[in-house]
């Protein structure tokens, strides 16, 4: 059982090959069990999960910030949890693709970027010391752990590396031309190759370790763990090695999706280790951090009780690319807008009173025309950016006018 919670966020603008076009990337880092009690305490008491409230707040902010994207679509890449780790509550990594539906969010696409369907299932099994049954299926469309071999893991890693290789070659010249920022004196492409080469080295080390331990690739993972529980050091090393390779592969998978995407606005939701790596990579690519929310600067993986989730306001700051200067401008604009709204309301009520109380027919007509004009101004003005807000304002005005200008008997 795994509970997820977003504990940090970055808004980064990165350049593209078209100088006039930039990509807006929003990274949201998840910390497993963030801010939670022990999992069994929730199951026993049926208390709501903190991540459930954050899940709903995230969807609300997606709606509230839609205008800022100027009608352009948004794509969300996320690291979908294994089905064995679903929380009984709503959380972003477990249920986001089920929550963001086209009928409710027609301009938003959600894509699962978890490419480690086999290896991550094996990693989870090894990490848990083989405590799952042989019929356990970790990801949809993947065979149960009782049928998996180490060769399945190696084959998946090889296939993913083959998939990334042409991406590296295709973007070599373009990536190099984008950025001036240096990494070890060579530029971003050296940084990318550094990660890519580490990935291939780690895979070679895993193969060598299996040979060293006399573990044929076609060895059944479930049987091996059950028969070698005392070989704790071997199981720990296999867990570490498979997890390390998988981590690099997911990082590069996210990067590949970001660079190949036609979308201007991109959200990534993944474990903090992945968003940290992506933030670093995008920074080496010339990306500029606009907003950074990190209330938990340092913590250990297991220190979940002291970790806090970021608030709805923080999520909104990231998706709206909040800066101190923008905050001041929005505050001033809000004060100015509210003042104009109150002024229009006062004028409307005043002229409405004249229309109802005046005995002069011409005065009544002039006052009514004035009211109509004010209503038109209110509807067409920038005081109300959406239809719903406009309706609310008009309702307030008309309600106040009706209350002010009728006698007690008429009411």
Same domain, yes or no, for 315 and 359? no
Q: Apex CA 56: angle with CA 50 and CA 58, to 5°? A: 100
In-domain check, residue 330:
no
Give the per-residue pLDDT at 330. Answer: 54
**Does the predicted TM-score (pTM) go above 0.85?**
no
- Report DSSP state, residue 6: E
Same domain, yes or no, for 310 and 351? no
Q: Is the dihedral of CA 378, 379, 381, 386 positive or negative?
A: positive
Give the per-residue pLDDT at 153. Answer: 97
Please tell me the total count of domains within the chain: 2
- Final residue before a domain boundary, out of 322, 349, 370: 322
Which residues partner with 109 through β-bridges? 75
Give the per-residue pLDDT at 17. Answer: 65
Whole domain around residue 366: which residue ranges? Answer: 341-404
Query: What SS3 class is residue 46?
Result: coil
Same domain, yes or no, for 178 and 239? yes
Give the per-residue pLDDT at 239. Answer: 95
- Final residue before a domain boundary, out of 289, 322, 355: 322
Q: How far is it, in rounded angstroms, from Cα 239 to Cα 325?
A: 47
Give the per-residue pLDDT at 81. Answer: 74
CB 185 within 8 A of CB 148: no
Same domain, yes or no, for 164 and 245? yes
Query: What SS3 class is residue 347?
Result: helix
User: Which of these, 234, 216, 213, 217, lies nearest to 225 by C-alpha position?
Assistant: 234
Q: Per-block average pLDDT, block size 10, for the chain (411 residues)? A: 70 77 91 53 46 83 90 92 57 78 90 93 91 90 94 96 81 53 49 76 94 96 93 94 92 90 94 88 83 74 67 93 63 61 65 63 68 62 48 53 45 37
In-domain check, residue 313:
yes
Q: How far is it, in rounded angstroms, from Cα 4 to Cα 20?
A: 37
Query: What phi and psi values does residue 21 have, to the nearest 5 degrees?
Result: -115, 130
**Buried b or exposed e, range 342-364, using 16+ CB within 10 angstroms:** eebbeebbebbebbeeeeeeeee
Give the per-residue pLDDT at 42. Answer: 40
In-domain check, residue 108:
yes
């Amino acid at each position: 059982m795994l509970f997820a919670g977003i504990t940090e966020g970055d808004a980064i603008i990165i350049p593209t090959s078209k100088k006039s076009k930039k990509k807006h990337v929003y990274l949201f880092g998840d910390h497993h069990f963030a801010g939670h009690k022990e999992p069994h305490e929730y199951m026993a008491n049926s208390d709501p999960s903190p991540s459930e409230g954050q899940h709903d707040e995230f969807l609300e902010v997606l709606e509230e910030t839609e205008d800022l994207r100027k009608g352009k679509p948004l794509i969300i890449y996320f690291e979908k949890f294994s089905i064995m780790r679903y929380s009984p509550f709503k959380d972003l990594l477990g249920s986001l693709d089920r929550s963001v539906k086209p009928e409710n969010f027609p301009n938003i696409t959600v894509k699962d970027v978890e490419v480690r369907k086999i290896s991550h299932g094996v990693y989870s099994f090894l990490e848990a010391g083989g405590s799952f049954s042989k019929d356990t299926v970790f990801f949809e469309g993947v065979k149960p752990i009782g049928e998996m071999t180490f060769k399945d893991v190696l084959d998946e890693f090889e296939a993913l590396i083959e998939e990334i290789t042409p991406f590296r070659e295709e973007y070599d010249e373009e990536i190099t031309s984008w950025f001036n920022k240096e990494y070890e004196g060579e530029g971003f492409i050296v940084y990318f190759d550094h990660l890519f080469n580490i990935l291939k080295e780690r895979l070679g080390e895993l193969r060598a370790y299996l040979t060293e331990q006399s573990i044929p690739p076609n060895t059944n993972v479930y049987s091996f763990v059950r028969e070698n529980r005392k070989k704790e050091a071997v199981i720990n090393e296999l867990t570490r090695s498979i997890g390390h390779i998988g981590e690099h592969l997911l990082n590069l998978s996210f990067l590949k999706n970001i660079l190949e995407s036609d979308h201007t606005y991109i959200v990534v939701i993944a474990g903090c280790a992945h968003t940290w790596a992506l933030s670093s990579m995008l920074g080496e690519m010339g990306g500029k951090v606009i907003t950074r929310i990190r209330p938990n600067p340092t913590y250990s993986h297991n220190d979940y009780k002291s970790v806090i989730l970021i608030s709805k306001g923080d999520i909104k700051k990231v998706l709206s690319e909040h800066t101190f200067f923008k905050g001041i401008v929005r505050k001033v604009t809000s004060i100015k807008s509210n003042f104009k709204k109150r002024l229009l309301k006062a004028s409307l009520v005043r002229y409405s009173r004249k229309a109802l109380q005046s005995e002069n027919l011409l005065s009544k007509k002039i006052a009514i025309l004035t009211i109509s004009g004010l209503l038109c101004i209110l509807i067409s003005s920038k005081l109300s950016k959406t239809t719903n807000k406009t309706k609310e304002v008009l309702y307030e005005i008309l309600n106040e006018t009706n209350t002010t200008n009728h006698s007690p008997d008429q009411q």
